[in-house]
Structure 1
């Protein structure tokens, strides 16, 4: 994937200094130097990052098998895995998982697109900020549960209600971080682009967008977590499928193993989504000293 470097194609004639050297050095060492000093490679650090979760699951299993934790309160991990296998064989788990993933993906695409568009508009225009930002911040302050009755009146309890809540939750982190990223672009880089006679479109593509990408991608990571939070709220009301429905249906029959399974799946999906976002950071920000060497 092609990386975006705001200084890759900009240099003043006769300056005698490569563009990258014009950037101030970071106060803290780069991730690659920190990894070298620790004496561990990226895969060693990856293994260490999983030690605590694996140890926690092992302790959980031991305590559950020893009878110190009641199965009605918290079933053993092995019991949860057995339940997952049975639900996978009869097809219900894959159906609920696919339904939730589809809702989250559609809601994320809609909300992310709206948040990015509004954030870009506000980031470039003080007039747009005056007209839009206060209303956006007021809506952002309203909890999901407070909006849920009104959303049900608007959309009923079908798919539209769930996608709307996901889109609403996703839009705000991307909006805020897009505005922040655009406003934090170094004015010297913008001036350099103007000296090089870059037009507005080229200025945005070569200078402003690459400079704002770290903040925008941070917003994407926050939005991914918010998407699942909104989806859990949406799927607890009137849903006939999905992970939220699976957990709520299990509650009626005191199936704590199914409830824990749904929670674990939410956690695993969140980790996978965050890993995808981090991969985007490494790919799109390979030129950046604080992102390019991350694993």
Structure 2
């Protein structure tokens, strides 16, 4: 047999890692939402869904275009984004900090965990009247309500991540005689990072959910203000457009966390598909 006949043809450069379009993760994740929009549009055109109660996607898109052309959409996104960002950062700092404190010391567990477990059983949105009494009707109750919603999932996931660390990591810290700060920085936080990132994704969803409710507290700007005005004028199309924007913002922030999660946890084995 000649050498030429046994020579294996190699793929051309640039084609080794090419993935078919329909198998790319971004395309696959978009198939179901696009399919739902198509079904929704078809049901509206066939008269299966009342236009008054649930306008067609094309009508909602025209309403959104109307809001955008009025110039109100950009300002609303900026204001709502600020509220969500400040509330998330505050809640995340408290949730991760308290989770590490409760997970790494008995003192923290006995002083932090019981009151937080009691507080998290209180309905978040039932606290709105109390927040209004305490903080008024400005920006503070909105930000604090979002922060409170963010705190609990991040605390629980951080606490669980720290408590379920590999014992070998702790033995390694003892063998290297690491100090508390070094142990946290090099062992505890990296080891608990997968669970913490799960908490980040959960808390981001709750942050946008809390924002929807928080912006009902006498909001004079933001997406909630647009939705409230539309409700008063029975503009169901604009209300649905605002709700779709909330969900789209949640999807975008979740995708950002997934992007960083894939790079921060490259060392972690993934199941084959």
TM-score (norm 1): 0.81
State the alpha-carbon separation in 2 of the partners of residues 231 and 82 from structure 1.
25
3-state SS of 1:81 partner:
helix
2:172 & 2:134 partners in 1: Cα distance? Answer: 50
The question of whether the paired residues in 1 share the 8 Å contact of 2:142 and 2:217 is answered with no
Aligned residue number for residue 149 of structure 2: 169
Summarize the alignment of residues 62-81 of structure 1 with structure 2, pairs less than 5 Å apart: 62-81=42-61
Aligned pairs, how many?
A: 255
Displacement after TM superposition at 1:168 (Å): 0.8
Match of 1:190 among 166, 170, 174: 170
Match of residue 112 from structure 2: 132
Q: 2:246 aligns with which of 235, 250, 266?
A: 266
| CA deviation after TM superposition for structure 1 residue 213, in Å | 0.2
Q: Which of the residues 82, 85, 91 maps onto 2:62?
A: 82
| Residue 21 (structure 1) aligns with | none
CA-to-aligned-CA distance 1:225-277 (integer Å, 9 cap, x gap): 11111111111121111212222221111101001101110111111011011
Matched, 1:50 2:40: no
List runs of 5+ in structure 2 lacking aligned partners: 1-18
Cα RMSD of the aligned pairs, angstroms, is 2.0
Matches within 5 A, 1:1-295: 43-290=23-270
Tell me the TM-score normalized by structure 2. Answer: 0.88
Task: Report what 1:34 is aligned to.
Answer: none
Stretches of structure 1 lacking an aligned partner (at least 5 in a row): 1-38
Aligned to 1:16: none
Which has more radius of gyration? 2
User: Distance between the aligned counterparts of 2:119 and 2:28, measured in 1?
Assistant: 41
> How far off is 1:71 after superposition?
1.6
Distance in 1 between residues matched to 2:31 and 2:215, nearest whole Å: 33
RCO comparison, higher one (Cα < 8 Å, 6+): 1
CA distance in 1, matches of 2:75, 2:205: 22
Q: Is the 8 A contact 1:144 1:233 kept in 2?
A: no
